[in-house]
Amino acid sequence: MKYLLSEAQKDSYFQKGFLIIENLICKDDIRRLQLQSELIGDNKIDHVPVSSTQVEPEVNIESPIEKNLTLRKLYAIAIYDQIFWNHVVNEKIVDVISQLLETKDIKLYDDQLFMKNPEVGSEIYWHQDSASWTDIFPRDLITAWTALDDFTLENGCLKFIPGSHRFGTLGLDSDSRERKMERFLPLLKFKQWEIEDIELDSGSVSFHHSLLIHGSGKNLSTKRRRGYAAHYMRSLSWKDERVTNAPVMPKFCQVRGQSYENCV
């Protein structure tokens, strides 16, 4: 393995639901991802479909603004683009995932590049990822969130509620996250909820559990805040075909190890 976790790091992840590893990705690799994201966002390459881009809801797309700066996110791009796929299978990242999931057999669930552009980058409300990924079990996927730019409070860094992954799925779907959070948090018999702001330097990676309650603020700065999230699961995870409200996903790609019959 290229990256071995200490017992303290693993214990911290299981207790808090996230682990930060600073400067895990080299600057050259970060720069490649930055440049490729601009090409994809501006539709200057034809192997990633336009359907993989999403515009910020409050942006006037008719205004004379660079297309890249209107985008909320790019998603499902690694299955089309070699540069982003190379990042998904980066040995150091996958080593960490393998140790936290305690398996060598890993698949990619999905990937998203949150653009969070200056002044228009919108807030992401409190949520749990597995509340949207309703058909995948067990609900212990891990997101490796790589900072392509520096993350600060001003430009909308990630926010975590440590330990919240241990309470299971709270039903925080994308339609009513704020209202449901107001209802759920007081009901939990737990110490006063703490919010941890995750400021990261470019090249650092945050690994978080798919049940961890998290969000991010609006970008109030003049600087970009791009974060690339790759979501990993065990090859032995299974998909419940009876679930009707799950997102339609592309084929789950093998990242490491082997696949299994009747599993994802």
For the record, the structure tokens of 111 come out as: 């990937």
**Spatial distance between the Cα atoms of 126 and 108, rounded to a whole number of angstroms:** 23
Q: Flag whether 187 is in a domain.
A: yes
For the record, the structure tokens of 261 come out as: 């019959």
Q: Flag whether 9 is in a domain.
A: no
Give the model's confidence band at 67: pLDDT under 50 very low, under 70 low, under 90 confident, else very high.
confident
Q: Flag whether 155 is in a domain.
A: yes
pLDDT at 183 over 70: no
Q: What are the CA-CA distances from residue 147 to residues 52, 65, 203 (Å)? A: 20, 24, 6
Q: Are 127 and 92 in contact (CB under 8 A)?
A: no
Beta-carbon contacts of residue 262 (< 8 Å; ≥ 6 apart): 238
pTM (2 d.p.): 0.93
Q: Are 233 and 144 in contact (CB under 8 A)?
A: no
Q: Flag whether 17 is in a domain.
A: no
DSSP for 144-202?
EEEESS-B-TTTT-EEE-TTGGGG------TTSHHHHHHHHGGGS-SSPP--EEE-B-T
Q: Are 241 and 57 in contact (CB under 8 A)?
A: no
Q: Indicate which CATH number applies to the domain containing 162.
A: 2.60.120.620
Q: Flag whether 12 is in a domain.
A: no
Q: Flag whether 39 is in a domain.
A: yes
Residue 28 lies in domain: 24-256
Average pLDDT score, the chain: 90
Q: Flag whether 99 is in a domain.
A: yes
Mean pLDDT is lowest, of 92-106, 120-134, 250-264, for 120-134
CA dihedral over 146, 149, 152, 158, signed as positive or negative: negative
- Surface-to-core class of residue 135, CB atoms within 10 Å of its CB (0-12 exposed, 13-18 middle, 19+ buried): middle
Number of domains in the chain: 1
Q: Flag whether 13 is in a domain.
A: no
**Spatial distance between the Cα atoms of 145 and 151, rounded to a whole number of angstroms:** 11
**Is 243 strand, coil or helix?**
coil
Segment 212-239, tens digit of pLDDT:
999 999 999 999 999 999 999 999 999 9
